Structure 1
Amino acid sequence: MSKPLKVVLLGAGVVGSQVARIILNEGDTLEQRIGRRLELVGIGVRRMDADRPGIDPALLTTDLESLVARDDLDIVIELIGGLEPARGLVRTALSKGASVISANKALLAEDLGELSRLAQENGADLYYEAAVAGAIPIIRPLRESLVGDDITEVMGIVNGTTNFILDKMVTDDVSFDEALAEAQDLGYAEADPTADVEGHDAAAKAAILAGLAFHTEVKGGEVFTQGITGVTESDIAAAESLDCTVKLLAVAKLTADDRIIVKVHPAMVANKHPLASVRGAYNAIFVNSREAGELMFLGAGAGGNPTASAVMGDVVTVARNRRRGTAGHVGSGYTRRQVAPIGESLAQFYLSFEVEDRPGVLARCAALFGDHGVSLRVVQQAYLEDEEHEEGFPARLGVMTHETRESSLEAVVAELSAADFVGSEVRVMRVEGF
C-alpha cells in the first residue's frame, strides 16, 4: 500500500498551476496526511508555450484524452471549465474507476446527477468543493454535516465579481459601468464579464446548492436568472432610503407544497441581515434548517489560492478514501422534487415609478395593487427636479409590498405600465430580510 497514488491534472491556469505546485512541493506533508504519496503523472493543457514557473515541462501535454484514458490513474483533477471537452474527459475518468475532483460549476450544474451515478457504478469518488464559493466549505456541510437535517432555504452571495461591483456602486457612488471597469482593472472581472454580470455563473452554483440541499437533481437551465446590468444609481439610492443594500443573491427554498424555488436576482437586502455586510469580492452563504437553525458561511469566493485550497481539501479526502479502498460520496438526488415556476415564488418587492401630480393618483395606485391581492407595507413619495423626470410626471412613488406571489406582482406591473397616470418605466426589485 506504499505505492504512490497517481494523479492527473487537467488545466494549469491560475488555480491549476497553484494546485500543481502544492502537489509537487508539499509531497512529504501531503503523504503524512494521506498515508500514501501523491505522484503527479501528467498535466493537460490547451497550449504548451505559457509560462508556468516551478512546473516541469515534461509533465505537460495537450493530449488530454490519452491522459485520462490511462489504466493506472487514481485521481483526476478537472480544472479546465466549460462543458466540452470537460464532460467527455470526466466521463472517461469515472468509467475507468478513477476518482474525480472538479471545480467546474457549468458541468456540474448540467450533469451532476449523471456523473454521480457513474462514479457510484465504478466505485469512484466525485468531489467538487471548489465549484461553489471558492475556499468556503459549503458543499461538504450540505451533503455530509447537515444530511440528517431538513434544510428549508439556502441563500447567498456566490459571485465575487458582482458583489464587488455593487459594493463599489454603494460605497463610492459610481455607476455600474465605472464599477465594472474598476473590477476589470483589478482582475476581479473578465474582459468579457457576461457570465458574471448576467447571473449565469451564480445560476450554475445555485443549481448545485439546491440539488444538494434538497436531495434532487436541479439543472442550471431551471434557475430563474436575472443579472445586475440593469441596476442603476437610483436603485442604490432607493435601497439606502429603506436601510437596505443591493446584492446579487442566489436563492433556493422549499415551497409549502414541497417543491423548490431556485432563482438568482439582485435584491434589496435589509442591513440587519448578515448578508448585507458582505463586502468587496467576498462570498457568503446563509443556510436555514429545521434543527440546526440559521448558519452562515463567509470567505474568499474566488482567486487562485482560495480555490486551490478547496481543491486540495478534496484531493486529500479522495486520496484517503483511495488508500482505504473506499468511495465516500453518495448521490443525493433521491427525492425527485419539482422546480416550481418563478411565478409561484413568494417575495417582497420594491417598485419605483413616476406619476402625475393630481388628486386621486395615490388612491388609484393603491386600488390597483389591491385588485391583485398585493398588500402595501411602505409608501414613499418625492417631488423631482425638472431634469429628473419625464414631462408631465413630476412625482415619484416608491412602494414596498408585503410578501406576495411573483405572478401577482407581474400583473400589477403590467397594469401600472399601461396606466395613463404613470410614467413610462416601472422599476422593480425584490426585497430580502426586511
Structure 2
Amino acid sequence: MKPVKVGVCGLGTVGSGTVNVLRRNADILSSRTGRNIQVAQIAARRPNPSCDTADIPVTPDIFEVANNPEIDILVELIGGYDVAKKLVLTAIKNGKHVVTANKALIAEHGNEIFSAAREKNVVVAYEAGVAGGIPAIKALREGLVGNRINWLAGIINGTGNFILTEMKDKGSPFADVLKQAQDLGYAEADPTFDVEGIDAAHKLVILAANAFGTPLAFDKTYTEGISKVTPQDLQYAQELGYRIKHLGIARRTEQGVELRVHPTLIPESHLLASVDGVMNSVLIDGDAVGQTLYYGAGAGSEPTASAVVADIADIARLIDTPQVAVPPVAPLKDGREVPVLSITDVHAACYLRMSAKDRPGVLMRVTEILGQNGINIDALLQKEGQESGGAVDIVLLTHDIRESLLSAALKEIEALDDIIGSVAHIRVEHL
C-alpha cells in the first residue's frame, strides 16, 4: 500500500523527538502497521540541531502543510490556542487526520474540534497531551473499555511534583524550590500554568471526558495550586502518616461528576505517594478491573514523542478503512446531562493548620466550632510555642465533610481573637 505521509508542524522539543523516533524506528512501525510512515513535510521557523531534516522538505508556513494535498496526517506541535486551533480546523476541513500534543487546545476547544472532525470523518488523536509518554487515554478507550470508570486520580504535572518532592526532602520553601525548578528547565519563566494547577486541569478534563463520556468541561473544573503549601505542612502530614501530592481527581457520583485539581494528603503507604520528582502517574478505578496504575515520564522529547508516534501508527492502520473515524470523546449513550459538581458540594476529609496564640481554651473553642458544624476530628497535633505567650500551630484531620459546611466553620474559626491569619486547608483522599 502507498505510504502514509505525515506533516509535522513545530520542530521544538517534542517535534524534533517525533521526527527522530519516526525515522529511527521506521522499520518497526512498518512491520507493526503494515504501512510505511513517511515524514513528508515539516513546518518550522528555524532548524533544530537535534533533528536531521536534510532530506525532508521544510517550510516556515504551517498552513502550507495543512493545505498540502499529499499530507495524510498533520501533527500539531506548535502549542498555544488561536493559531493552533486555526491550523487544526484547516487540516480537518481538508480531510486530514490530526495528531496533537496540545492539551490546552483540546481541553478548551476540543468540543468544537471533535464536532468538525466527525463531520469530515477524520480522527483527532491527542494521547501525548496527557501525561507525556504514559498511554492513559489508550488505557481508558481500549484496555478499560469494558469498565464503568468510577474515578481516576493522577499526578499529572511533573513540575509541581518536583517542587513538592524537593520541599519535603530538603525542607526548603516554595519560592526557593521554584527557582531551582526554573534553573533546571522544569519550570517556565512564568510558572503559573504549572504551579497554579491550570496545566493539570487541562489534562484532567481530557481524562474525565474519556472516562465518563462527558463533554470537556475545563471552565467547570475546580483548580487550586501549590504555592501556599509550606514545608511545615509537608512535615506535619508526614507525622500524621501522609504525603502531600498535587492531584487531579475526577469522580462519578450519583449527583454528578467531580472535577478538581488541588494539593491532597494521601496515605504514605499508597503507591501514588512514592511518585517523586518530575514523574507522572495515573490511577484508574473501574467496576470490573478494580484499580490500575500507570507510571512514567510525563514530559520530555522522546517520551512525549512516543505517544505522538503511537497515535500516528493507530491512524496509519485505519487510514483507508471506510468510516474510520471514531468520536474522539464518546457521547453518553442515554443522552443524559451529567452535571459537574461545584467544589462546595464535594465531600472530603480535610487537613487544617492554624496558628493560634498560646493561651488556655483556644483548642476547646476551635473544636466547639467544628462540632457545632457537624465536623468530627480524626487526629490532632498541637505544637509547643517558642516562648510563653507565643504562637503555636494546631493541626487537625477531620472526617469526611461537605465543603460548604467546612467553609462556614473556618470563617468562624478565623474570626476568633486567638487565631492568627487564615486557616490552611488541604483535602485528604484515601484512594
Question: Which TM class, normalised by the smaller chain length?
Answer: over 0.9
Quick check: 1:134–1:301 contact (8 Å CA) kept in 2? yes
The offset of 1:58, in angstroms, is: 5.7
Question: Which structure 2 segments of 5+ residues have no match?
Answer: none
The offset of 1:135, in angstroms, is: 0.9
Quick check: 2:21–2:306 contact (8 Å CA) kept in 1? no
1:18 maps to what in 2? Answer: 17
2:108 maps to what in 1? Answer: 110
The offset of 1:65, in angstroms, is: 1.6
1:153 maps to what in 2? Answer: 151
Structure 1 SS opposite 2:75: strand
Quick check: 1:16–1:308 contact (8 Å CA) kept in 2? yes
1:301 maps to what in 2? Answer: 298
Q: 1:427 aligns with which of 418, 424, 429?
A: 424
Q: State how 1:294-373 maps to structure 2 within 5 Å.
A: 294-327=291-324, 329-330=326-327, 331-334=329-332, 335-373=336-374
Q: Distance in 1 between matches of 2:302 and 2:90?
A: 28
Task: Indicate the larger mover: 352-361 or 165-174.
Answer: 352-361
Residue 415 (1) aligns with residue 412 (2): yes
> Deviations along 1:9-52, whole A, 9 cap, x unmatched?
1111011011112223433332222222223222122x225545
Change (3 A) 1:106 1:161: same
Q: Distance in 1 between matches of 2:90 and 2:202?
A: 23
2:200 maps to what in 1? Answer: 202
Quick check: 1:113–1:333 contact (8 Å CA) kept in 2? no
2:37 maps to what in 1? Answer: 38
Quick check: 2:17–2:51 contact (8 Å CA) kept in 1? no
> Deviations along 1:374-414, whole A, 9 cap, x unmatched?
1111122121214xxxx955332111110111111111111
Q: 2:95 aligns with which of 91, 94, 97?
A: 97
Q: Which amino acid aligns with 1:427?
A: A
> Deviations along 1:405-433, whole A, 9 cap, x unmatched?
11111111111111122222311111122
Q: Distance in 2 between matches of 1:76 and 1:166?
A: 37
Quick check: 1:393–1:422 contact (8 Å CA) kept in 2? no
Q: Distance in 2 between matches of 1:57 and 1:411?
A: 66
Residue 378 (1) aligns with residue 379 (2): yes
> Deviations along 1:237-275, whole A, 9 cap, x unmatched?
111111111110001111232x11101111122102211
1:28 maps to what in 2? Answer: 27
Q: State how 1:380-419 maps to structure 2 within 5 Å.
A: 380-386=381-387, 392=389, 394-419=391-416
2:125 maps to what in 1? Answer: 127
Structure 2 SS opposite 1:29: helix
Q: Which amino acid aligns with 1:253?
A: R
> Deviations along 1:261-297, whole A, 9 cap, x unmatched?
1011111221022110101111111111222111111
1:80 maps to what in 2? Answer: 78
**TM (normalized to structure 1)?**
0.93
Q: Which amino acid aligns with 1:134?
A: G
The offset of 1:178, in angstroms, is: 2.3
Q: Distance in 1 between matches of 2:391 and 2:51?
A: 62
Q: Distance in 2 between matches of 1:48 and 1:382?
A: 58
Task: Indicate the larger mover: 420-429 or 77-86.
Answer: 420-429
Q: Which amino acid aligns with 1:345?
A: V
Q: Distance in 1 between matches of 2:331 and 2:385?
A: 53
Quick check: 1:99–1:126 contact (8 Å CA) kept in 2? yes
The offset of 1:148, in angstroms, is: 2.5
Q: Distance in 2 between matches of 1:17 and 1:49?
A: 10
Quick check: 1:272–1:433 contact (8 Å CA) kept in 2? no
Q: State how 1:168-179 maps to structure 2 within 5 Å.
A: 168-179=166-177
Quick check: 1:355–1:361 contact (8 Å CA) kept in 2? yes
Task: Indicate the larger mover: 199-208 or 144-153.
Answer: 144-153
The offset of 1:325, in angstroms, is: 4.5
Change (3 A) 1:25 1:394: closer
Q: Distance in 2 between matches of 1:101 and 1:38?
A: 14
- Over aligned residues, Cα RMSD in angstroms? 1.9
Change (3 A) 1:29 1:273: closer
Quick check: 1:217–1:336 contact (8 Å CA) kept in 2? no
Q: Distance in 1 between matches of 2:360 and 2:273?
A: 38
2:68 maps to what in 1? Answer: 70
The offset of 1:195, in angstroms, is: 1.1
Structure 2 SS opposite 1:71: coil
Q: Distance in 2 between matches of 1:145 and 1:135?
A: 16
Q: Which amino acid aligns with 1:355?
A: A
Task: Indicate the larger mover: 264-273 or 114-123.
Answer: 114-123
The percentage of counterpart residues that share the same residue type is 38
Quick check: 1:35–1:323 contact (8 Å CA) kept in 2? no
Task: Indicate the larger mover: 50-59 or 157-166.
Answer: 50-59
Structure 2 SS opposite 1:85: helix
> Deviations along 1:121-151, whole A, 9 cap, x unmatched?
2121111111101111110111222232111
User: In the comparison of the two structures, how many residue pairs are matched?
Assistant: 427
Task: Indicate the larger mover: 184-193 or 368-377.
Answer: 184-193
Quick check: 1:31–1:37 contact (8 Å CA) kept in 2? yes
Question: Which structure 1 segments of 5+ residues have no match?
Answer: none
Residue 139 (1) aligns with residue 140 (2): no
Quick check: 2:16–2:48 contact (8 Å CA) kept in 1? no
Q: Distance in 2 between matches of 1:172 and 1:18?
A: 33
**TM (normalized to structure 2)?**
0.94
Q: Distance in 2 between matches of 1:230 and 1:87?
A: 34
Quick check: 1:126–1:329 contact (8 Å CA) kept in 2? no
Change (3 A) 1:140 1:256: same
Quick check: 2:40–2:56 contact (8 Å CA) kept in 1? no
The offset of 1:120, in angstroms, is: 2.0
1:48 maps to what in 2? Answer: 46
